[in-house]
Amino acid sequence: MSFCDPSGLAVLIGIQYRARAQGITLALANPRPYTSHVLRITGLDRGLQMMA
């Protein structure tokens, strides 16, 4: 994704919550620099696995 606004972050949080409840690890593959930056400044990078 090239853009992520607050509603996009909410979707990622919801998906991550549901995945964890089912024992699934959510990972973002090769996120764009903007997306990585947004996740870092919001602290969501600590809960989402990112793979280059």
Q: Are 15 and 49 in contact (CB under 8 A)?
A: no
pLDDT at 1: 64
pLDDT at 3: 75
pLDDT in tens, the chain (52 residues): 677 888 989 998 999 999 999 999 989 999 888 888 989 999 988 888 888 7
* Dist. CA 9–CA 16, nearest whole Å: 10
* Dist. CA 13–CA 7, nearest whole Å: 10
